[in-house]
Each structure stands twice: as C-alpha cells, then as structure tokens.
Amino acid sequence: MLEHTTQLISDILSTVFLLGLALITIAIMFLYIKDSTQVKSAIRRNYPVIGRFRTLFEHLGEFFRQYFFAMDREEMPFNRALRTWVYRASKDKDINIAFGSTRNLDKTGEVYFLNSAYPKLSTETTASSPLVIGPDCPQPYAAPSFFNISGMSYGALSANAVTALSMGAAMAKCWLNTGEGGLSEHHLKGNCDIVFQIGTAKYGVRDEHGNLCKHKLQELAANPQIKMFEIKLSQGAKPGKGGILPAEKVTEEIAQIRGIPAGHASHSPNRHLEIEDNTGLLEMIQLVRKVTGKPVGFKLVIGDTSWFSGLCEDIVKLGSEAAPDFITIDSADGGTGAAPQPLMDFVGLPLKESLPFVVDELSRFGLRDRIRVIASGKLITPSYVAMALATGADFVTSARGFMFSLGCIQALQCNKNTCPTGITTHNKRLQNGLNPIEKSARVANYHKNIIESVDIIAHSCGVAEPRGLSREHVRVVTQTGYSLPLNDILSARVN
C-alpha cells in the first residue's frame, strides 16, 4: 500500500512537473512571438523574451544601485538622471520629480538660473517666433524652432533611425541636419526641413575626383526641403580628424549616395583641401551660397582662438555680404561619431568656453546681428538648452538627445555595427527592432517637452520666451562653493 501511494505521488509530481514545463514552454513561445512582432521596443523585438529582463533590471536598479552600482549623477558620458529625463520626455510621461534634486549644487561650474520675484503669467508669455537665417539670400530660411536635430549621417545611423528622425522632425517642425554622409531617401521621407552638411570628403556633392561639384549642389538646392548648407570644418567627437565609417557599414546604397567604393572603410580628410585659411573659407561660403541661393554657414570645434578674430576682421573688410549666415559651434566633449580616444578626451574647447567667446567676438566686430549662432554638444535637457540660449546662442542642436529619444541605451556600440537598438547598425535583424512610426512620435514628444520645459525656465526668470534669457539670469558656482554672476566669470576668463 505504501509503495502504491508513493508511486502515485511520484506520478502526480511528474505529471505536474511536465505540465508546468509545458506551460512555461508555451508561455516563452507566446512571449517570443509577441516580442518579435511588436514595434514599441527595439530591445524586445531584437532580443525576444531575454530583452524583457532589461526593464526588470532597470527597475530593480532604482533600489539596489545605491549599494552596488553607480549613483544617478555618476555615469558618463550621460548619467542616469539625464537619460531618464529624455526617455520619459520622449514617451510623453510625467517628467516631474519629488523629494529634492540629486544634483550637487556646490560643485564648481554648476549653474543656477535666477528666478524673478515676479515670474511671467501664462497670459504674459509668447511662443518663440521663427528666426530668419540668411535674410539677404535669394531664399532665406525662417527657422521655426530654436531646438533642432544635429548632424548624424546616414551610414553612421541606420535607415530606420534616419526615417524616424525625418518623420519626427516634420511633426516637431524643426530641422534635421544630414551629417556629412550625403542626402538619402530616408532623410526625405518625413518631408521635414533639412540642413545639408558638406563634409571634408564632399559626400553627395563630389565629382569623380572628390572635388566640389556645382551641378550636384544645384540639384540639391532645387529640393524645397533643403533649407541651408553647412560646411563642416570639424566636429566634437574628433576635432582635427575627418569622419570615419567602418567598411561593414559601407553598403552598396551608402556607397552610391556618397560616391565611394562599397565595402571599403571611408575616411574623410582632416580638412577641406581648398580651405587653407580664412580667405579660402569665405570664398567657399560665397561659392556655395551663389550656386544654391540658400543660407550657408560652417560648423567647427573652437580650439585656437586667434584665427577667429582674424576671420571677423576679414569679414568687416570685405563687407557683411561676405559673412557666413550662421556658425555652428560644437563642443569638444565628444559626439556621436567614432573617434580616437585622445581626440575625444583632450582636443578642443568645451562649449561653455567657446560659445561665449564666439558671441562676444562677433559683437565686438559688429557682426552679431548678421551671423546666427548655433550651439551643439551634450545639450540634451532643458537646463543645458536654456544655458546655451542665455549665453548668446540663437539656436541649439542635439544629436545624442534625439538618439536617446529613439531608444539608445548608451551601449557604446556605435562604431561596431552591433547597436542593440537598431540605431547605429546596418544589421537588418537589429534594424528591424526600430519601428520608424513608433519612434518618430517619441522624437516629436522629446522636442515638445524640451520646448515646454525651456519655456518654464524662461518664465520663471521673468522673460516672455526663451530667447529673452541672458547672462544676467545665470550664476556659476565657484571653488568657494558660492556663486558669481556669469558675466563676472566670463569677464575674468583668460582668452
């Protein structure tokens, strides 16, 4: 009898075990199918079932990281607090926090915005008006938004990522910079405003010898979506070195767009061969503007500052018509591109030094009203955008902020063609995880929440709209732990 009972219990347990195993298998199969067919999460689509653990670990990290992991403000290049704000903003979720700031308010270099005793009521505020760039051009550009998408090439980014950015930019009514990789059909899909970037290799506008082709420039200028042309001298990821695209990313399509051989690594020259000095730069600006009839400017990382004063002197001598229509200042604290670590870490000036220098020099030579200033580099949250505007920028552009809005998890795989979110890879399986329609809405949400949050800062400071912010609204923490007005800090700086 005992043996019979024992056998019966054993049979029941075996049956339960097999039934449980079957249910678990069915559940895994169900989750696999569900994850691989949904379009909201690239991680779950590319890594069905397993990808769900990321959300669990991220949630548990909120409770455990104070014992085992980095704190919210410790990670680099972007800490968890910054990334979380972008993620929530792009999903249009609640972006408020409770129980006080985790920011170290005593750290040297931190900024405070000075709230007014009489902040602006909603009835006293205004939306930022479109700002005209290149008013003397045959086709000037009235840029609708002060916050825009910085240069990221198709090639460095996947087709789905570029498509999502294009569609999102159209919804947000901001511009999308092509980066130096040329214009693709993916940039055009959203029917957004486009800034075409001319890199040192002239991708998309080069002839068979690699020289600037006027005919191709005219063809691009005929496209009504292209509003401006930007000549890239240097970028934050690698000041003094040309762009790098690994061979595995140079597909047949990308090779055709760029005018280079497929399957071979693409390295751009350190500089434009025809630009040896300020004269060459101004001549190229005038050439492109004459051929296209549209605003033309240049992008660079400021390092040596003496040349810029000379550039301003040359413009004054030649007349304001010789001036660039805009200057984009990139910060030397990294960027989306792959780069040698010594350049990424040590070369060029950060934006907090270069932006006020450029603004002040343009003012000193009477060129500030003629030349628009665009600030770029790690400006992914409202406070950084507001700080750039208060320092003197007319516009702000961001690349990595919009990458986070697409779902970037800072896996640091941008140059390896293995991006798990499908943003910087040409692996079709991984690209599949990024649904352009779903992600374009997040791009637009992120832009909307940046604008609204910068508005909040401006209204708190007593001005009607963000471009009303000035250096008088900012103080900077010094080594003493106490703050000084931003103007005092800048006046004391060594050029």
Spatial separation of the C-alpha atoms in residues 139 and 131, rounded to whole Å? 14
> Does the pLDDT of residue 494 top 60, yes or no?
no
Whether 140 and 224 share a structural domain: yes
- In percent, how much of the chain has pLDDT > 70? 91
pLDDT of residue 256: 86
- 219 and 351 share a domain? yes
Question: DSSP for 212-223?
Answer: B-HHHHHHHHTS
Cβ–Cβ under 8 Å, residues 487 and 472? yes
Domain that holds residue 455: 124-491
Residue 112 lies in a domain: no
Exposure string (b/e) for 277-304, b if CB count within 10 Å is 16 or more?
ebeebbebbbebbebbbbbbbbbbbbee
Cα–Cα distance, 382 to 449 (Å, whole number): 8
The answer to the question of residue 30 being in a domain is: yes
Residue 63 domain flag: no
Cα separation, 342 vs 346, in Å, equals 6
User: 245: which 2 tokens?
Assistant: 């695209």
What's the pLDDT score for residue 10? 75
pLDDT of residue 67: 44
The reply to whether 231 falls in a domain is yes
DSSP string, 420-486: TTSSS---HHHHTT--HHHHHHHHHHHHHHHHHHHHHHHHHTT-SSGGG--GGGEEEE-TTS-EEEH
pLDDT of residue 66: 45
Range in 6-15, 138-147, 175-184, 461-470 the model is least confident about: 6-15
**Of the listed ranges 151-165, 194-208, 480-494, the one predicted with least confidence:** 480-494
Tell me how many degrees the CA angle 77-352-196 measures, rounded to the nearest 5: 75
Indicate if 41 and 134 belong to the same structural domain.
no
* 495/3 Cα distance (integer angstroms): 93
Question: Do 271 and 131 belong together in one domain?
Answer: yes
Residue 376 has pLDDT above 60, yes or no: yes
Do residues 14 and 144 both lie within one domain? Answer: no
Q: What is the mean pLDDT of residues 12-24?
A: 83
Residues 14 and 129 both lie in one domain:
no
Kindly state whether residue 295 falls inside one of the protein's structural domains. yes
Domain assignment of residue 102, yes or no: no
pLDDT digits (tens, 9 = 90+) for 250-273: 888 888 888 888 888 877 888 888
Looking at residue 250, its pLDDT comes to 81
- Same domain for 251 and 141: yes
Q: Note the pLDDT tens digit of each residue in 181-234.
A: 899 999 999 999 999 999 988 999 988 888 899 999 999 999 999 999 999 998
Residue 178: what pLDDT?
96
| Judgement on whether residues 146 and 22 belong to the same structural domain of the protein | no
The reply to whether 299 and 384 lie within a common domain is yes
Mean per-residue pLDDT for 35-44? Answer: 84
Domain boundary among 11, 30, 49: 49
| pLDDT tens-place string over residues 467-484 | 999 999 999 999 988 999
Quote the pLDDT of residue 329: 95
Q: How many domains does the chain have?
A: 2
Average pLDDT across the chain, whole number: 87
Give the residue-averaged pLDDT of 32-45. 85
pLDDT value at residue 294: 97
Within a domain: residue 108? no
Banded pLDDT at 331 (limits 50, 70, 90): confident
Q: Are the beta carbons of 178 and 187 closer than 8 angstroms?
A: yes
Q: Are residues 159 and 42 in the same domain?
A: no
Q: Count of H helices and E strands in the chain?
A: 17, 15
Is 360 found in the same domain as 233?
Answer: yes
96-127 in b/e form (b: 16+ CB < 10 A) is: eeeeeeeeeeeeeeebebeeeeeebeeeebee
Q: Give the angle subtended at the CA of 409 by the CAs of 403 and 414, to the nearest 5°.
A: 65
What's the alpha-carbon Rg for the chain, to the nearest Å? 25
Q: Three-state secondary structure along 28-93?
A: HHHHHHHHHHCCCCHHHHHCCCCCHHHHHHHHHHHHHHHHHCCCCCCCCCCCHHHHHHHHHHHCCC
Highest mean pLDDT among 4-8, 56-60, 214-218: 214-218
Q: Does 21 have pLDDT greater than 80?
A: yes
CATH number at residue 206: 3.20.20.70
Q: Which of 52-56, 130-134, 448-452 has the lowest mean pLDDT?
A: 52-56
Domain check: are 143 and 273 in the same one? yes
Sign of the alpha-carbon dihedral angle for 167, 168, 170, 171: positive
| Cα distance from N-terminal residue to C-terminal residue, the chain | 97
Average pLDDT estimate for 445-463: 96
62 falls within a domain: no
User: Collapsing DSSP states into helix, strand and coil, what is residue 354?
Assistant: helix
